[in-house]
Structures are given as structure tokens and as C-alpha cells.
Amino acid sequence: MRAKTREEWVLRDLIVTPHFSGVSLEDLDSRVHKRFIHLRLMNPLGPLSEDMLIFDPSTAAYFALGIAKRI
């Protein structure tokens, strides 16, 4: 159930991006950087195209926050 509208919604695609600017998912692969990064999980409001080079976050709804850890 979507908290904002109290309506059920389906999560067909999940967009995972770093929550803070200046952070990259590749930072987990480097021993110099942090062992974890904060993530923003979003649900696209429309279909995604495979030729999309840059994703516009204004076309998605907030879904949740998370953490990715390097093990």
C-alpha cells in the first residue's frame, strides 16, 4: 500500500540509487571507500525504456531507504 495515497500499487521495476550526492555504487568495490552506502529505492511511475541513458528521479515515487554493504 502506498503511504501517500493509501492505495495499493504494484512494484514492477525497482530503481536503486545512492541516497546522498557524490556517492556511487562503485564505492562499495573500493577498499578505500566506506563498507556501506545508503540507498534510495524508487518505483517508476511509467515504463522505463532500455535506451534511457540517464534516469530522471522526478519520474519515480519514493519507495524506501536501504543500505548496501560490502561483505
Per-residue pLDDT of the chain (71 residues; tens, 9 = 90+): 777 788 888 887 888 888 888 888 777 776 666 678 899 988 888 888 888 778 788 888 888 889 888 77
Q: Which residue range(s) make up the domain with 28?
A: 15-69
The answer as to whether 38 is a domain residue is yes
Tell how far CA 54 is from the center of its chain. 13
Buried b (16+ CB within 10 A) or exposed e, 44-61: beeeeeeeeeeeeeeebe
- 4 within a domain of the structure (yes/no): no
Q: Would residue 45 count as lying in a domain?
A: yes
pLDDT attached to residue 63: 82
49 occurs within a structural domain: yes
Give residue 33's pLDDT.
60
**Residue 29 counted as domain residue:** yes
- Considering its fold, how many domains does the chain have in total? 1
Q: Is 6 contained in some domain?
A: no
State residue 21's pLDDT score.
85
3 lies in some domain: no
Task: Tell me the whole-structure pTM to 2 decimals.
Answer: 0.68
Residue 1 lies inside a defined structural domain of this protein: no
